[in-house]
């Protein structure tokens, strides 16, 4: 059963507009949520994270929002740039059980920013 879900496999946005990437989770036993960016044939790079006790974290053009009651987080990129075109992975760190301390990844959303 997938604990971290990214239901949109792809997203296309015009340059300069806002990109919103979504992620849902089914398990309340996560303490951190993270976003990674990945280019083809490269390893993922850490983008931004949020603690489960916060509801927003901002870093430059990137903002992550956490809605615990809905078990939903989102990544906002404003303004979007062509260089943001990549696959974005949502991840969550498990607190208990077999996933304790490990990151669980979603399947990714491919973002395309058109000039």
Partner 1 sequence: DGGITQSPKYLFRKEGQNVTLSCEQNLNHDAMYWYRQDPGQGLRLIYYSQIVNDFQKGDIAEGYSVSREKKESFPLTVTSAQKNPTAFYLCASSKGQGGFYGYTFGSGTRLTVV
Q: Which of residues 52-81 bind partner 1 (CB under 8 A)?
A: none
Kindly state whether residue 89 participates in binding partner 1, applying the rule CB under 8 A.
yes
Q: What residues between 10 and 49 interact with partner 1 by CB under 8 A?
A: 31-32, 34, 36, 41-46, 49
Which residue lies nearer to partner 1 by CB, 15 or 29?
Answer: 29
Q: Which of 24, 93, 111, 113 binds partner 1 (CB under 8 A)?
A: 93
Least distance to partner 1, CB of residue 40, Å: 10
Write out the DSSP string of 2-70: -SEE---SEEEEETTS-EEEEEEES-S-EEEEEEEEE-TTS--EEEEEEETT-SEEEETTEEEEEETTT
Length of the chain: 115
CA 17/CA 51 separation, integer angstroms: 27
Q: Provide the binding-site residues for partner 1, judged by CB under 8 A.
A: 6, 9, 31-32, 34, 36, 41-46, 49, 51, 89, 91, 93, 101-108
């Amino acid at each position: 059963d997938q604990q971290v879900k990214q239901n949109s496999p792809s997203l296309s946005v015009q340059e300069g507009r806002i990109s919103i990437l979504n992620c849902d989770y089914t398990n309340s036993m996560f303490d951190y949520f993270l976003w990674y960016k990945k280019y083809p044939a490269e390893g993922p790079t850490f983008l931004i994270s949020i603690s489960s006790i916060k509801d927003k974290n901002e870093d430059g053009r990137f903002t992550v929002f956490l809605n615990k009651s809905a078990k939903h987080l989102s990544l906002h990129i404003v303004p979007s740039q062509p260089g943001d075109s990549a696959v974005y992975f949502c991840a969550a760190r498990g607190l208990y059980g077999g996933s304790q301390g490990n990151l669980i990844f979603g399947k990714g959303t491919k973002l395309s920013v058109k000039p």
